[in-house]
Structure 1
Amino acid sequence: MSAQTAEPSTAEPMSHRQILEALSGLLLVLFVAMISGTIVSVALPQIIGALNGSQSQYTWVVTASLLASTASTPIWGKLADLFDKKLLLQISIATFMLSSLACGFAQNTGQLIAFRAVQGLGMGALQILSQVVIAAMITPKERGRYNGYLGAVMAVATVGGPLLGGLIADTSWLGWRWCFFVAVPFAVLAFALLAKTLRIPDVRRTDVSIDYWGATLIAAGVSVLLIWITFVGNSFDWLSWQTAVMAGGGALLLVLATWVESRVKEPVVPLHVIRRRTPALAILASLAVGMAMFGGSVFLGQYFQIGRGYGPTAAGLLTIPMMVGVLISSTVSGRMVSRSGRTKPYILVGLIVLLAGFAGLGTIDHETPIVLVSVYMLAVGVGVGMSMQNLVLVIQNTVPLREIGAASGAVTFFRSLGGTVGVSVLGAVLAGRVSTSIAEGLAKAGIPAGASAAGGSLNIAALPEPIKGIVRSAYGDATGHIFLISAAIAVVGLVAAAFLKPAKLRDSLDLPEQPRQEAPARA
């Protein structure tokens, strides 16, 4: 039967050496894909200025790739269950590489936004397919050790992107186009490595049924909601007709998508998986970790540059404690998970440390000693490293190999969505508090209210000295408040993780009992 040809779970596991060889290519391409999402954050003012772009186009250079990446993640995950994983990975590397070149050669912001959207498709594919391929090579029990490397690469890329972007922006002989070109040689090398070293079962299914309607509705619903989150509070109010149309329309599309997914043969998001207790709780906890990973890198960089007066490169260097925390904790906890076969203790400890780190960052202002800020960042990094990939592993351990792509795609999708929503909400709160603080500071200093417009500028160096100090204090003091919100969300993640059922990781690639074995008994 065709169903039997779809699950080559009896294939011999790869040796440790073969795994490391293939893993080198996977980690390399995952690193350049993720770093491409954050490398432009520091250099974006220079990019938009060189291309004579507007403020709205400034936002869309980031939003275009974010939308494409987040909305397409579950679709790529499902495709990995239906088609050859290695071929899909090679297609996604080629897509990412060509779009990166196109971004670097863009002649105006319209072209750049379009190419960034295509690059986002490649970035989303590489993020999820890397995890799916690892799951197809390694048993869940052994996967903890390798997932530690994966989590470290993902987090270091997220935090290190702004640092690399700052270095490129501060190097006159390189120029902003190298923010995109820098990824190309690494993508070529990764493609060659994977072509030579990656050996996974060749999935050939004759009963493939692609859920076009579900994929379209999910992508459309998520895109509308992300566009709304991006612009609400800036272009229009939270309580407005635009909010009603976009939020209501996005929610309606996702309700329709849920209805479709409950009826089709091969759903993009397997509802029967995410309805179960363990995957649902792991997804909820992943939302909190997503906010930690994305929010921490975005707002700490802004805190150091605007609130404390450091340059782009120095601001990137100051985030190294978070990077070190992620790197060490994800690697060490991954090995301990593989040794014990248990994930829940490490997830709980990680989320407790994450909560403590956010609580500490909630106390910072524009005069907090940098050493103390570094300690809090280290705690956040340790928390992210111990929990992020282990939550993916929890879900992968509960599903058969034939559903590993869709399940991994679902948790990655919700984590990215949580990070996106978190960054937008925290950014709106930060903007509101900064505006109020600047107005109060100007009033206390006896500066006319008309100067508040100048106080809203992010070009701090161009501001008059009295206003410059007020703006720095406003940003430095307001940043602490948004991390208190992050701490509250981390509590939600901790509670969700506390209710996870303790379970040992299986030492086989596939579940011992396959659904297809039960069918004859019911017939």
Structure 2
Amino acid sequence: MAQQQAVDARPQEPTPESARRVRLVFLGVMLGMFLAALDQTIVSTALPTIVGDLGGANHLSWVVTSYMLAATATTPLWGKLGDLFGRKHIFLICIVIFLAGSALCGQARNMTELIAFRALQGLGGGGLMVLAMAVIADVVPPRERGRYQGVIGAVFGVSSVVGPLLGGFLVDNLNWRWVFYVNLPVGAVALFVIATALHAKRPETRPRIDYLGTALLAAASTCLVLITSLGGTTWKWNSAEVWGCAVGAVVLIALFIWWEQRAPEPVLPLRLFRNRIFTVCSGIGFVIGLCMFGALSYIPLYMQVVNGNSPTESGLRLLPMMAGVLITSIGTGQLISRTGRYKIYPIMGTALTCVALVLLAQVDEKTSATVMGLYMLVLGLGLGLVMQVLIIAVQNSTDFADLGTATSGVTYFRSIGGSFGASIFGTVLNNQLTSKIATAQKDGTLSPQFPAKQVLANPTSVQKAPPALKPLLDPFLHIFAVSLQTVYLVAAGITVLAFVLSLFLREVPLRTATRTNQVEGAGPPAFRSSAEEIEGMITRLSSRENIWERYGRAIDRSGINISVPQAYGLFRLHHAGPITEEEICRRLKVSSVEIRPKLDAMVASGRVQRDPAGVLTLTPAGQDVVQRLSDARLNQLREKLEGYSPEQHAELLDMLRTLADDSLEAPARVLTD
């Protein structure tokens, strides 16, 4: 009963808002997304100044890690809370938390306070990232989401590039505290817009929150982020701290899986992983996050170490990549909204990203700024084709009750991928530099007096060396460029995995309307037609498909490896009950020569059993296939209704179940074709 109340308490799908209201909501959402993405990178150029003011250089990495840790660990929680309580209220709470953290960061008096307040800021920032995408799904029909999600993807890409630029500008012209204060006016506008433009109704009953599942996932995420952020730098890879976090992560993940199978309202339902689209998109997101954050980290480093650019200059040189993300994010969104198709874009995007990384692997100390800019443009074009399309695909294939949870799940895996990327590529670069420096010193290419330890700790220091020493350091610039080539080759190899995964992404055409006519949190809609009219509509729509198409789509949707004739045979055996081969031949008016090979194949598959008397019945495996096919057909019929909410009306749901079975009936010859 409690579980049912929790389900009933979930907000129902909203009606399309007026054009003006949608634009206002989108403005507020975009501002929130911009702030959260901006704060992942804006601090980087201010860190040296912050250390000079507050001290605590040995804890410097925690200024970035604390934000990333809090944001990643709480992402699934915010998505689930939005599903349970309505996204408006949770989004507003996240904005307030983020702004409070920003104000406190600006007031920090020492490094400990700054790290703690950055964690608070990340707590809100994680919610802003995932709920921004879910709110758009609340107010915009699936077919139209592409153009909005495309702009959000562009904003994410732009903020990632603008962050270091804006941070450097504020530090140079004001002081480092304005890196955090700049969030306050923008956040206040977002707070006002969302509070006034997005309508919501609180659930009538109190939802149940998965506190234990949230704690287990947050703890496991913490262990993973600590390993990837501090391993190889603050902690040695074989240290007790790294091993402790690794063992802790494995144990916590096992406990999380065990608990989520029993939780009445799981924070990350394991049933989502039975959805092939969600699983594939999560895998692609993990790999793209891994490669994207790796590229964003090391391109500016190359420019500062090899070319001698300042942080601000290196940020400006990232503009071609930002332009690429803008072009394909917005363009792809428009195309998806027009066509309702999306599968081709992740395939193209992952392929283009792989090509861009291979091109970056050719860069050395002699590469011109123009060529580097072209390579970054290609990378931006590839990333823009992928990032938001994954969200659109998942939202279109997920039940509305799980929309926020599914969105947060994909975002979570992308964030974890980014964490792993920074660690993996950092290790590759460090190993390459150490090996090549040692080799160069042995063969005389690099002076034995070269301060390898100091340079490895801070590679940009070579550009601050006195002019008289620079000729001695030039060989290091070549070594650094060649070492980065290996990093990008590894990244390209990993991106191939994302390309392969994208080939398995199943495409479900986007609907042209939201499923129900109600605002978030409102009650179920009234019927606009009688049950007979609805049944007639479904029958007319289904009649446009032949039986092969119906079974083919049901098989594809269910993910079962089975032929249409065999699936139909199982379905007929299910309805006929225990039956002999002779009776089947009599009913279908076919000879045993025609039917026996088909029946033998079904028996051999383990889905049908034949007793000594020749009576045929379905095995549990066969019954499972029939159930999954029926469920797949039921979901197809639900989508055909679009403007109704079958789950809220028992008689309509029963009618759909009956129609699902009836529509899978067919002429007898199907079994023998």
Scaled to the shorter chain, the TM-score interval is over 0.9
Residue 315 of structure 1 and its aligned partner are, at CA, apart by 0.3
Of 477, 483, 488, which residue of structure 1 is paired with 2:482?
Answer: 477
Please state if 1:88 is matched with 2:90. yes
Give the Cα–Cα distance (whole angstroms) in 2 for the partners of residues 274 and 470 of structure 1.
Answer: 50
Kindly indicate whether residue 37 of structure 2 is the aligned counterpart of residue 37 of structure 1: no
Distance 2:329 2:102 in 1: 29
Once the two structures are TM-superposed, the CA of residue 300 in structure 1 deviates from its matched residue by 0.8
The CA deviation string for residues 186-232 of structure 1, in whole angstroms up to 9 with x for no partner, is 11111122222223x42415251111110000000110111112222
1:372 paired with 2:376, answer: no
Residues 1:332 and 1:468: Cα distance change in structure 2 (over 3 Å): same
Displacement after TM superposition at 1:37 (Å) = 1.3
SS in 1 for 2:40: helix
2:175 aligns with: 175
Which segment drifts farther, 135-144 or 456-465?
A: 456-465
1:54 corresponding residue in structure 2: 57
Q: Which moved more, 1:439-448 or 1:91-100?
A: 439-448
Contact kept, 8 Å, 2:11 with 2:84, in 1: the verdict is: no
Contact (CA 8 Å) 1:139, 1:508: kept in 2 or not?
yes
Contact conserved, 2:437 with 2:446, CA < 8 A, in 1?
Answer: no
* Cα 1:36/1:309, change in 2 over 3 Å: same
Match of 2:210 in 1: 211
Matched, 1:289 2:292: no
Matches within 5 A, 1:406-425: 406-425=405-424
- Which range moves more in the overlay, 451-460 or 224-233? 451-460
Q: Report deviation, 1:516.
A: 6.0
The yes-or-no answer on 1:492 pairing with 2:497 is yes
Q: Does 1:315 align with 2:314?
A: yes
**Which protein has greater RCO, CA pairs closer than 8 Å, 6+ apart?**
1
Q: Partner of 1:16 in structure 2?
A: 19
Matched, 1:276 2:278: no
Q: Distance in 2 between matches of 1:393 and 1:221?
A: 27
Shift of 1:126: 0.4
Equivalents in 1 of 2:650, 2:361: separation in Å?
53
**For 1:108-257, what aligned pairs fall within 5 Å after superposition?**
108-169=110-171, 171=172, 173-199=173-199, 201-206=200-205, 208-257=207-256
The Cα shift of 1:243 comes to: 3.3
Q: CA deviation at 1:40?
A: 0.8
Match of 1:6 among 7, 10, 15: 10
Q: How does 1:444-463 map to 2 (within 5 A)?
A: 444-445=444-445, 447-449=447-449, 451-456=451-456, 457-458=458-459, 459-463=461-465
Q: One-letter code of the match for 1:133?
A: V
> 1:411 and 1:518 mapped to 2: Cα distance?
32
Looking at structure 1, the residues matched to 135 and 509 of structure 2 have their Cα atoms a distance apart, in angstroms, of 22
- Aligned amino acid, residue 188 of structure 2: V
Q: How far off its partner does 1:240 sit?
A: 4.6
Q: Considering only aligned residues, what root-mean-square deviation do their CA atoms show, in Å? A: 2.0
Write the distance in 2 (CA, Å) between the matches of 1:382 and 1:108.
41
Read off the aligned partner of 1:306 and give its amino acid letter. Answer: V
2:25 alignment partner AA: A
Residue 160 of structure 1 and its aligned partner are, at CA, apart by 1.9
Range with bigger deviation, 298-307 or 111-120: 298-307
Contact 2:328 2:384 in 1 (8 A): yes
Could you tell me whether the CA contact under 8 Å between 2:9 and 2:207 is conserved in 1?
Answer: no
CA contact (8 A) 1:217 1:257 kept: yes
Flag as ranges the 4+ runs of structure 1 deviating above 6 A: none
Stretch of structure 1 that moved more, 402-411 or 289-298 = 289-298
Deviation of 1:515 after TM superposition, in Å, equals 5.3
Letter in 2 for 1:278: I
How far has the Cα of 1:294 moved from its partner? 1.6
Would the alpha carbon gap of residues 45 and 275 (structure 1) be closer, same or farther in structure 2, given more than 3 Å must change? Answer: farther
Q: Is the 8 A contact 1:295 1:422 kept in 2?
A: yes
Deviation at 1:407, TM superposition (A): 0.4
AA partner of residue 20 (structure 1) = R
Q: Within 2, Cα distance between the matches of 1:30 and 1:312?
A: 24
2:301 is matched with which residue? 302
Provide closer, same or farther for how the CA distance between residues 394 and 442 of structure 1 changes in structure 2, counting only shifts above 3 A: same
Q: Which amino acid aligns with 1:52?
A: G
CA distance in 1, matches of 2:648, 2:254: 30
Which residue in 2 is equivalent to 1:509? 514
Decide whether aligned partners of structure 1 residues 422 and 5 sit closer, same or farther in structure 2, where only a CA change above 3 A counts. Answer: closer
How far apart, CA to CA, are the structure 2 residues paired with 1:399 and 1:515? 14
- Taking the aligned partners of 1:44 and 1:474, their CA distance within structure 2 comes to 27
Kindly provide the amino acid, as one letter, of the partner of residue 119 in structure 1.
Q
Instruction: Report if the CA contact (8 A) 2:281-2:390 is conserved.
Output: yes
Q: 1:82 to 1:446 in 2, by over 3 A?
A: closer
Query: Structure 1, residues 142-171: CA drift from partner, whole Å, max 9, x if none?
Result: 1011100111011111122112222233x2
Shift of 1:136: 0.9
- Give the secondary structure class of the aligned counterpart of 1:285: helix
Match of 2:431 in 1: 432
Q: Show CA shifts across 1:254-280 (max 9, x none).
A: 111111111111111111012321111
Equivalence for 1:391: 390
**3-state DSSP class of the match of 2:237?**
coil
The Cα offsets for residues 425-474 of structure 1, whole Å up to 9 and x where unpaired, read as: 10111122122333334442462357323433332344332454244333
Residues 276-319 of structure 1: CA distance to partner in whole angstroms, max 9, x if unpaired? 21111111111122123322221111111112211111100100
Shift of 1:49: 2.0
Matched-pair contact (CA < 8 Å) for 1:290–1:415: yes
- SS where residue 6 of structure 1 aligns? coil
Say which one has the larger Rg.
2
Match of 1:337 in 2: 336
**2:228–2:422: 8 Å Cα contact kept in structure 1?**
no
In 2, Cα distance between the equivalents of 1:351 and 1:281? Answer: 13
Superposed, 1:59-74 pairs within 5 Å as 59-74=61-76
Cα distance change, pair 37–372 in 1 and its aligned pair in 2 (3 A): same
Unaligned runs of 5+ in 1: none
Structure-1 separation of matches of 2:162 and 2:204: 40
- One-letter identity of the residue aligned with 1:499: F
Equivalent AA in structure 1 for residue 191 of structure 2:
F
Give the direction of change, closer, same or farther, for the CA distance of 1:184–1:7 in structure 2 (3 Å limit): closer
SS at match of 1:506: coil
Does the Cα contact within 8 Å between 1:329 and 1:385 map onto a contact in 2?
Answer: yes
Distance 1:490 1:203, change over 3 A: farther
Indicate conservation of the 8 Å contact 2:15/2:139, yes or no.
no
Q: Percent of pairs identical after alignment?
A: 35
For 1:518 and 1:281, the matched residues in 2 are separated by 33
Instruction: Write the letter of the residue equivalent to 1:132.
Output: A
Give the distance between the partners of 1:427 and 1:205, measured in 2 at CA. Answer: 50
> TM-score, structure 1 length as denominator?
0.94
Q: Answer with 265-274 or 430-439: which moved more.
A: 430-439
Q: Give the whole-Å Cα distance in 2 for the aligned partners of 1:183 and 1:248.
A: 38
8 Å contact from structure 1 (residues 38, 162) kept in 2: yes
Partners of 2:239 and 2:116 in 1: how far apart? 29
Distance 1:192 1:230, change over 3 A: same
